């Protein structure tokens, strides 16, 4: 029998620069220091100053850390540690040397290029792999979490210079009591990427994330979001009522088969949509691999690295 050993240690982080900022949280690139000159680059997520005194946000922040700590998958950003310093809770996470998909599309446009359709489908397939894992996740006693991300969007999917694709930000996820759930009372998520259930203040399940994945795929293929309105309310109405485009007519790079996948993803009737991320993954991978060799992390990474220019860094920050 192995001895039980308790290790007491402290974590020290130096915040280098702000890399992302949302409605309630902010993420920094940071350097973690350990014993004997050990260092590691990580990402640190904090609650924004204006929300520190609101118990609901703190509870959800802690709930997010506990939830994602056990989501260990190559297509999900990993969580390492939940800590507290200077009266502030923080989450230490995997640092992705790359950019989110919104920045990725901006950089492609700035280079006067377009994303090859097979790479767009490859990215969507990696999102589907991460969602398939998350949707099937159970608690330690085997009880299904019935997890729904509820915020699948361009800004919440990272692509690394090495070609890895990772889902991030489970801050408004619905999952087995980890986070406060006010579904039906508020419309959680980014209006341009909501499912009809979210836009209509209805209950969601895993199929809601698939509708959002369909919008992400449409953005990657078209270079724009077909549901974006002048404001959030307009975008929600477009999600609910705007005719779903014939994507083959929108762009010649979208084949009839790929158009069929998009049409099935974007069914407003949830029973006609893909039933699971696994079934979506099958169709996406069949589309790009059925003739043999297809895109990989390496081919995506090569494309990312071929783009000239970098995402402008935020100013340097302080220590934590």
Length of the chain, in residues: 320
Q: Where are the alpha helices (DSSP H) in the chain?
A: 55-69, 101-110, 117-135, 196-199, 206-222, 232-241, 247-250, 256-265, 277-289, 297-306
How far are the Cα atoms of 29, 42, 68, 80, 283 from residue 10, in angstroms, in the given order? 19, 16, 22, 14, 47
Closest CA to 214 of 272, 263, 253, 168: 263
**Is residue 220 within 8 Å of residue 261, measured between CB atoms?**
no
How far are the Cα atoms of 16, 64, 84, 182, 212 from residue 174, in angstroms, in the given order? 32, 10, 24, 9, 15
- Between CA 192 and CA 55 the distance in angstroms is 28
Counting Cα atoms < 13 Å in the Cβ hemisphere of 211 gives 31
What six digits make up the tokens of 177?
Answer: 């009591």
User: In the beta sheet, which residues pair with residue 27?
Assistant: 20, 45
CB neighbour class for 300 (10 Å; exposed up to 12, middle 13-18, buried from 19): buried
Residue 151 is among the residues annotated as catalytic for this protein: yes
102, 151, 164, 205: the active-site residue: 151
- Between CA 189 and CA 33 the distance in angstroms is 35
- Between CA 62 and CA 48 the distance in angstroms is 14
Active site positions, annotated: 151
């Amino acid at each position: 029998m192995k001895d039980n050993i308790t290790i007491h240690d402290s974590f020290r982080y130096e915040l280098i620069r702000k890399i992302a900022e949302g409605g309630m949280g902010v993420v920094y690139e940071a350097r973690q220091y350990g014993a004997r000159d050990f260092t590691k680059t990580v990402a640190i997520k904090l609650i924004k100053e204006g929300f520190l005194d609101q118990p609901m946000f703190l509870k959800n922040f802690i709930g997010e850390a506990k939830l994602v700590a056990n989501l260990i998958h190559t297509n999900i950003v990993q969580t390492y540690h939940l800590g507290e310093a200077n009266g502030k809770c923080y989450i230490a996470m995997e640092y992705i040397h790359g950019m989110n998909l919104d920045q990725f599309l901006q950089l492609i446009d700035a280079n006067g290029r377009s994303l090859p359709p097979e790479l767009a489908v490859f990215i969507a397939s990696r999102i589907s792999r991460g969602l398939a894992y998350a949707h099937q996740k159970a608690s330690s006693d085997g009880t299904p979490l019935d997890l729904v991300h509820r915020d699948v969007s361009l800004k919440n999917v990272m692509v690394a210079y090495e070609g890895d694709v990772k889902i991030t930000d489970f801050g408004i996820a619905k999952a087995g009591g980890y986070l406060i759930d006010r579904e039906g009372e508020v419309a959680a998520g980014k209006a341009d990427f909501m499912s009809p259930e979210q836009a209509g203040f209805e209950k969601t399940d895993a199929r809601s994330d698939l509708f959002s994945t369909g919008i992400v795929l449409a953005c990657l293929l078209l270079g724009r979001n077909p549901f974006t309105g002048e404001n959030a309310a307009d975008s929600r109405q477009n999600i609910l009522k705007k005719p779903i485009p014939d994507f083959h007519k929108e762009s010649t790079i979208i084949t009839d088969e790929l158009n069929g996948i998009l049409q099935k993803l974007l069914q407003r009737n949830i029973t006609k949509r893909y039933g699971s991320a696994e079934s979506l993954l099958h169709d996406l991978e069949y589309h790009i691999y059925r003739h043999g060799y297809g895109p990989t992390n390496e081919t995506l990474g090569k494309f990312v690295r071929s783009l000239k220019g970098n995402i402008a860094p935020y100013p340097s920050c302080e220590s934590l």
